[in-house]
Amino acid sequence: MTQELSRRGFLQRSAVAGAGVMLIGGTEMLITAPSAAAAPRAGQPHGGPHEAGYGPLVADPAGRLALPAGFAYSVVTHAGVTTLESGEPTPRNHDGTGAFPRRGGGTVLVNNHEIRDPFGTDLPVPHLDGLVYDPGAAGGCTVVETGPDGTRRTEYVGVAGTATNCAGGRTPWDTWLTCEEIDALAGTGGFQKDHGYVFEVDPYDRGANRDPQPIKALGRFEHEAAAVDPRRGDIYLTEDASGPNGLLYRWAPPRGYRGRRGALRRLGPTDGVLAAMRASDGAGRHVPDLSVATKVGTRYAVEWVPVPDRDGRGTATRRQLADADVTRARKLEGAWWDADGAWIVSSFAREESPAQHDGQVWFYDPKRATLTLRLLFGRNPDPDVDGAFDGPDNVSISPYGGVILAEDGEGVQHLIGATPSGATFPMARNDFTDGTKNVEFTGPVYSPDRAVLFANIQEPGYMFAITGPWRHQR
């Protein structure tokens, strides 16, 4: 997830990759220009007080994160270096992260660890009594508590024995849904139980995390992220898969269901309806794949087609529905609920798709049942050169306007901000020169009090707390 934005990522009117970018968060709209989103070259002057972002990135003498002047970071967790309260080292492969208010001040974070290997691999999520789903799996989540400035207070295991915990989503009742981006059955890959599920982690109640059980009602497939509609109870789920391309799913709750702590755990494996998206254009024509949208503002009508067998043991869920019945997309990644709907990211599309691009960000409006393209990245011709962005992955809403994206592209890696008016800018750059160079950012999320931006570099695994002179972006 990354592409480097060198000094400043504004929406420029110069052609770089053939498509432009413009964004907004909340009820604001994401728009795009007819050119690519690009950052001015190193040394290009800062344009003034109304420019997007916080100015040029300053190289980090310590070789970790480049940030704008006036900003600072601290390392919250470091795989193999920091330790859990139980004595084991912090696990590796940091990914999606949820942030919750800490009683007494500060933040509680649930951090996914995207470890696909069976247990026995280096730096797994430790198998502590009562917290293990599958003794054969090494992934899971840790819970990190910090002070108001992001300073680490403690870290402990939330769930263990899961696999490839990639992204996820926060619930309206303040828990974290961690998603397994894998489709594996017991007896394969060293696993003793089936994988490809969603698990719920409570950041406040350790007892609620004991005896972890998959939420089978949400299906078994290569889950990426989840976004929960607080009014309707629907849960939107992205699938990062190919051959064929993945689907966007919606789980609609059964009659009488009320979302709250423990409610998902009590569901039966076929409760509610798991359905896949089918989109059509203004003329009523079926849209086979989201990549065919090449213009920001493209809007599709959406229907939901029930999945016959959500556990997908014999046939994967995405293969149970014919191409004419659903709308597919490559690399369906980040999902985040906003006040009025869900942001959905398609990270890139290549030869496996009808058209190629380096990233799309969509907004689903459940009230109107429409999906609208809000951000589009054209193909980046030279990812190793600081300039155009590519490969958006994790997404979250910024309390200062717009959204924050983590790149999972080629070459240099950044956190990207995008303002309500459509300008894009680099918030951070991976400045490592060792084996962490060009490794993707993951899990950007602000603290509940808006003072700290937490973000990870996936390998070997770092969590950073970024502070500075935040201001509203227009």
Q: What is the pLDDT of residues 232-274, one digit of tens each?
A: 999 999 999 999 999 999 999 999 999 999 999 999 999 999 9
> How many angstroms separate the CA atoms of 453 and 189, rounded?
36
**Would you place residue 386 in the very low, low, confident or very high pLDDT band (cuts 50, 70, 90)?**
low
CA angle 251, 257, 263 (to 5 degrees): 85
- What is residue 387's predicted lDDT score, i.e. its pLDDT? 64
> Tokens representing 288?
């086979």
Position 6 scores a pLDDT of 25
Closest among 166, 119, 40 to 424, alpha carbons compared? 40
What is the reported pLDDT for 122? 97
Encoded tokens for 53? 């972002």
Residues in Cβ contact with 408 at an 8 Å cutoff, skipping those fewer than 6 apart: 1, 2, 333, 347, 391, 392, 393, 440
Cα(9)–Cα(64) distance, rounded to whole angstroms? Answer: 20
Percentage of the chain beyond pLDDT 70 is: 89
In the chain the domains, ranked by start, together with CATH numbers, are 10-467 (2.120.10.30)
- Grade residue 381 by pLDDT with cuts at 50, 70 and 90: confident
Instruction: Using the CB atoms, write b or e for 279-312: b if 16+ within 10 Å.
Output: beeeeeeebbbbbbbeebebbbebebbebeebbb
As to burial, measured by CB atoms within 10 angstroms (0-12 exposed, 13-18 middle, 19+ buried), residue 216 is middle
